Structure 1
Amino acid sequence: MRNKIRAGLLAALIFAPAIAISSMGNAQDRAPEAPAPSTPALPPVDEADEKSLKSVADFDAIADQTERSIAIFQETGKVLLHPRCVNCHPAGDRPLQGMDMHLHQPPVRRGDANFGEPGMMCNTCHGPANVPVVAQSENIQSIPGNPNWHLAPIEMAWQGRSLGDICRQIKDEDRNGGKTLAELVDHMANDDLVGWGWHPGKGREPVPGTQKQFGELYKAWAATGAHCPDS
């Protein structure tokens, strides 16, 4: 009996390093996930200002209409470039998570229709509403949800793009789902999935202001010519 135990221990000592080396080799053979491109940040602003949105009236003092239009759109950038929005407008096939915009875990992919792939669809985990998570990690206090939870199409990717590029992309009907400017205003002001950004569930920072304020800014931007910043 003792001999059998010793033989077993000896085999373990012999083969364990080989298995470990083999596993390391396999891991090295697999290409690492490419790092996500960073999204340009807005210029530094006061923290309180960063978490709020100015009203349309705050831009009335800008006499030049083009400059006023650009300034209004830059204000909406507080929402557009916020991780709550960029995470669902990734430049790759995987959604992002968190304020640091890391790759989504588990490693789901967008799929052909942007709702995930068979066996790992978005609604596998994301239901019609946010769900609180009890007695789990402090970093996961709720699971986000919406009846229409999905990724924005790849042509609507915002990750890694400047606010000016996003502005021009938003106006391009070939890259915005065929929406007119009026339809864009309505989408930003009233779409329920857009509105989730202000109600992201426990443990997540909402985007600045309110959807009503955001919609009013978008309407004013369109009314002043829908001009875009250079960058």
Structure 2
Amino acid sequence: MKKWLMIAALAATPALAQDAELRAVGDFDDIEGEEVRSVALFEEMLKVIEHPRCLNCHPVNGGPTQGDDMTPHMPPVVRGDADFGAPGMFCTTCHGTQNVAFVTGDGSIPGHEPWALAPVSMGWQGLSGAEICAQLKDPERNGDRDLAELHEHMAEDGLVGWGWHPGDGRTPVPGTQEAFGEIVQAWIDTGAACPG
């Protein structure tokens, strides 16, 4: 692997909080001012959004990364048309409809139906929380979703939910998808403010 690529991947790797849990929505009730509360809720959302389970499939450039250390995907793959991989090497060449444990040791091949990269317009690796927030709220970049549809995607979509059930050898995102959905809804209800 090229040295600069490894350095870039490591520089983009967030610190993993192994024991991090999502705070309950009620934990934010004492925060004065709706906008300040909304920003605090979004920063709580970032515990999930900036976790390697999410960032690995939200690259800004090139193909996916993998693992908690977000190393370049092995075997090397490219995005291809419709974010499902290149002809002859679609994501589904290796990724099935569910996680598959290795038979020769620890670990697994992740799977879900469908398995795909996020669109280029939703690349998050290396972006600030403020940039990710603006991107999430922009229908031109978020798959033409309004805030209600964004909530539905984050709270109910199975591929998003995979982050809480990533298979052997991977650290799941903190909390539960249900708790995350509640935080997303509270963020929306308080004005969907972005960090400064």
| Alignment partner of 1:104 out of 39, 62, 73 | 73
Q: In 1, distance between residues paired with 2:145 and 2:129?
A: 19
Q: Which of the pair has more CA radius of gyration? A: 1
Aligned to 2:134: 168
Kindly provide the CA deviation profile for residues 78-98 of structure 1, in whole angstroms up to 9, marking residues without a partner as x: 000000000000011210011
1:66 Cα deviation (Å)? 0.3
Answering whether residue 22 of structure 2 is matched by residue 53 of structure 1, we say yes
Q: Is the 8 A contact 1:169 1:176 kept in 2?
A: yes
| Alignment partner of 1:225 out of 172, 175, 191 | 191
Aligned to 2:37: 68
Q: Is the 8 A contact 1:39 1:162 kept in 2?
A: no
| Alignment partner of 1:198 out of 164, 168, 182 | 164
Answering whether residue 47 of structure 2 is matched by residue 78 of structure 1, we say yes
Q: In 2, distance between residues paired with 1:165 and 1:85?
A: 16
Matching residue's letter, 1:157: G
The sequence identity of aligned pairs, in percent, is 54
| Alignment partner of 2:64 out of 76, 89, 95 | 95
The 5-angstrom pairing of residues 179-190 of structure 1 reads 179-190=145-156
Q: Is the 8 A contact 2:13 2:69 kept in 1?
A: no
Cα 1:72–1:40, aligned 2, differ >3 Å: closer, same or farther? farther
1:149 Cα deviation (Å)? 0.3
Cα 1:205–1:120, aligned 2, differ >3 Å: closer, same or farther? same
TM-score under structure 1 normalisation? 0.79
Q: Is the 8 A contact 1:39 1:81 kept in 2?
A: no
Q: In 2, distance between residues paired with 1:60 and 1:88?
A: 33
1:33 Cα deviation (Å)? 7.9
Q: In angstroms, what is the RMSD of aligned CA positions?
A: 1.8
Cα 1:164–1:39, aligned 2, differ >3 Å: closer, same or farther? farther
Answering whether residue 93 of structure 2 is matched by residue 124 of structure 1, we say yes
1:39 Cα deviation (Å)? 3.1
Q: In 1, distance between residues paired with 2:13 and 2:95?
A: 28
Q: In 2, distance between residues paired with 1:110 and 1:173?
A: 22
Deviation beyond 4 Å, 4+ runs, structure 1: 31-34
Q: In 2, distance between residues paired with 1:118 and 1:168?
A: 33
Kindly provide the CA deviation profile for residues 37-63 of structure 1, in whole angstroms up to 9, marking residues without a partner as x: 533747x97x63xx2100100000012
Aligned to 1:157: 123
Which segments of 5 or more consecutive residues in structure 2 lack a partner in the other structure?
none
Q: In 1, distance between residues paired with 2:134 and 2:13?
A: 16
Cα 1:177–1:76, aligned 2, differ >3 Å: closer, same or farther? same
Q: Is the 8 A contact 1:115 1:151 kept in 2?
A: yes
Q: In 1, distance between residues paired with 2:47 and 2:92?
A: 28
Cα 1:179–1:34, aligned 2, differ >3 Å: closer, same or farther? farther
